Amino acid sequence: MTRRPMRRVLVANRGEIALRIMRACRDEGLETVAVYSDADAQAPFVRAADQSVRIGPPAPAESYLRIDALIAAAQATGADAVHPGYGFLSERAAFAQAVTDAGLIFIGPPASAIVAMGDKTSARRLMAAAGVPIVPGSTKALTDPDEAAKVATKIGYPVLVKAAAGGGGKGMRIVRTPAELPGALTTASSEALKSFGDGSVYLEKYIELPRHVEIQILADQVRTIHVGERECSIQRRHQKLVEEAPSVAVSAELRERMGAAAVAAGVAVGYRGAGTCEFLLAASGEFYFLEMNTRIQVEHPVTEEVYGVDLVREQLRIASGLPMSIPEGPLVPRGWAIECRITSEDPANGLLPSAGVIQWLRAPAGPGIRWESGVESGSEGTLYYDSMLAKLIAHAPDRARAIAVMQRALQELMVVGVATNVPFHRKLLADPDFQRGDIDIQFLERRPDLMAASDDDAAIERIAIAAALLAEDQRISRRVSAPAGAANAGASASAWTQLARRDGLR
């Protein structure tokens, strides 16, 4: 690949990942272009960019998923490259190809690698051929219930029905008896069709009580390397909630074996840039390839903290034809990092998404804390997009101290106006089993108490509101005592607003 210098990058995403990419671009001396829907017109990531372009109404299908609008925005602003972030079009080969066909640089793997890893059944065949261990099961889509029954009998129950074209728990069903299989095939296929436009499903052996461990890889024109593992076993409905690096279950020897398998996977598809191989790690120490995410991951900060790398900057370097800046030789983890995903989900309402205006936000700070968010006080949460408000990352010399740092940060964090999952994180970090690292992907299924709302949670919420009101009153007092002028203009209205809130609190 020849060198293709970049000057301006269009970020085809929103929220915290858009801000994260823009910061990396600025560190590399690159200009940035934001694209936004009507719902995001006042969002922080739009203000952070050098230029911004409206691309449509709030619905993703009419804005962030419109390839034509994104390409047009890049061309109109003179962008040289497009970074897809994660979600939306980040793993769509058609988007990567459209960017390339428009003469722009796609900051990600080639479309051929996305295609190779996009269909789970073809990826399983490819990985098996490359010597990467896969979970026993079918290597092609199954449409005939009788054929599926034969496969299930051969590999043994329980089995897992999975969507061939997707992930994130969509189109997935656990089947423990032959009688459950026909119904599971039908419902999983229907859900997969709605979620991914492809109803194909396949079967895997269901591994009991495994850990979810993933390996970060980087590949430039010469080298493909791994950057250690992340433990992602704390999940709800196959959605990750907490991630950490390294993993308590992975020794240095196992890290190198899993890393070698992930590198082999990347080489097999001609990978370029940052990617992640996800594995199931059994209690026996055996591991099995699940899938490859051909993009930057939500949880990439824990790897960055522990290994001292900037994965997004490496993406930018590799895309422009430069070699990665990481020296040759094995990388050794330094300390421990934990990430909590802060979402606008209501513990008192079955953790359903909570929409509304964030009236007040106090982000945690101090030693060992990293806060990555796309919202601020005054931001409006909407049901059009993912419920994640922010990522809270703690880094310390060891796991016990990283947990303590995270607990301190969670106590400092206050969000008023929308319900959040912060009470869950506080309870999880205090749980003895979690503190011992005694976890697996079914951990939260066995511990519904950690997800349930409590009277203590309600009390903390009331304290948070009271603290927010006090802080706002103090701010108003300072404005009122300041010299007359523009700074004083909104004091009266704010005072009325605070009076109404106090009445509501009573």
Based on C-alpha coordinates, what's the Rg of the chain?
A: 24
Q: In terms of C-beta distances under 8 Å and separation of at least 24 residues, what long-range contacts does 65-70 make, across chains too?
A: 65/89, 67/92, 67/94, 67/95, 67/98, 69/35, 70/10, 70/12, 70/35, 70/95
Amino acid found at 219: A
Q: Which residues pair with 295 in a beta bridge?
A: none
Give Cβ neighbours of residue 116 (< 8 Å, ≥ 6 apart): 122, 123, 126, 268, 269
Distance, CA of 248 to CA of 437 (rounded, Å): 6
CA distances for 440 relative to 291, 329, 435, angstroms: 18, 31, 13
**Cβ pair 44, 374 in contact under 8 A:** yes
**Cβ pair 14, 45 in contact under 8 A:** yes
| SS3 at position 430 | helix
Give Cβ neighbours of residue 408 (< 8 Å, ≥ 6 apart): 364, 366
Amino acid found at 469: L
DSSP string, 103-159: T-EESS--HHHHHHHHSHHHHHHHHHHTT--B-SB-SS----HHHHHHHHHHH-SSE
Distance, CA of 493 to CA of 488 (rounded, Å): 10
Strand order of the sheet with strand 31-37?
51-56, 31-37, 8-11, 81-83, 105-106
Distance, CA of 210 to CA of 441 (rounded, Å): 6
Identified catalytic residue from 295, 313, 341, 501: 295
Q: Is 295 a catalytic residue?
A: yes
> Is the torsion defined by CA of 145, 149, 150, 151 positive or negative?
positive
485 sits in the region (left: phi over 0; alpha: psi -120 to 50; else beta) called left
DSSP string, 336-379: EEEEEEEE-EEGGGTTEE--EE--EEE---STTEEEEES--TT-
**Cβ pair 107, 273 in contact under 8 A:** yes
Catalytic residues: 295
